[in-house]
Amino acid sequence: MGLGRISGVHGLRGALKLRADAATATTDPAVIAALGEVEIGGLRHRVLDADRLKGQILLRLEGIQTRDQAEALIGQEVKGESGRFPPLPPGEYYWFQVLGLPVLQAADGTLLGHLWEIIPTPGHDVYVVRQGEKELLLPAVEEVITEINLEEGWIKVAPPPELLEAYAH
């Protein structure tokens, strides 16, 4: 799974700047560090350290110790195994776990579409549900997103009636 791309280097000792891919919910350096290893250009590297640096992740990897080694990786995709992601507390999910799932109306099971995108906002995330040309924006709050079932692969929602009326047209 893609975590992001190497966007640059930092310092002389091989530190990499990772522009994380928000769609996989890997913007948290602690999650990258917890993966233990990442893959770049088909080679696996043990993660020595991951910190935040001006909206990016500063990554130190085993085997990359010079600026030249680091510069050779600029533009490369950084991948991680989804099975290595640390477990989250109940009721929390990584974006990659829910993106693409069918979204059902809690009241009657009607398919509203599939979770297409998640937009982070200061108050709460917004789920973008699409079905064909129709798009429904749902606030990711408990009152609206009533249940997420990863085992069966669906999300149940109870959108406010005014949102559903606008979506129907």
pLDDT for 47 equals 96
Q: Do domains 2-84 and 97-168 have the same CATH topology?
A: no
pLDDT for 88 equals 83
Strand-pairing partners, residue 24, are none
pLDDT for 86 equals 84
Residue ranges of domains in the chain = 2-84, 97-168
Q: HSE of 147 in the Cβ direction (CA atoms, 13 Å)?
A: 11
pLDDT for 24 equals 61
What tens digit of pLDDT does each residue of 102-111 get? 999 999 999 9
Q: List all residues 6 or more positions away from 95 whose beta carbon is below 8 Å from its beta carbon.
A: 22, 23, 24, 25, 118
Continuous segment of H or E residues that includes residue 126: strand 126-131
Six-digit token pair at 120? 């982070």
15: left (phi over 0), alpha (psi -120 to 50) or beta: beta
Q: What is the CA radius of gyration of the chain?
A: 19
Residues of the chain scoring pLDDT < 50:
none
Task: Assign domain 2-84 to a CATH class.
Answer: mainly beta
CATH of domain 97-168: 2.30.30.240
pLDDT for 23 equals 62
Continuous segment of H or E residues that includes residue 165: helix 161-168
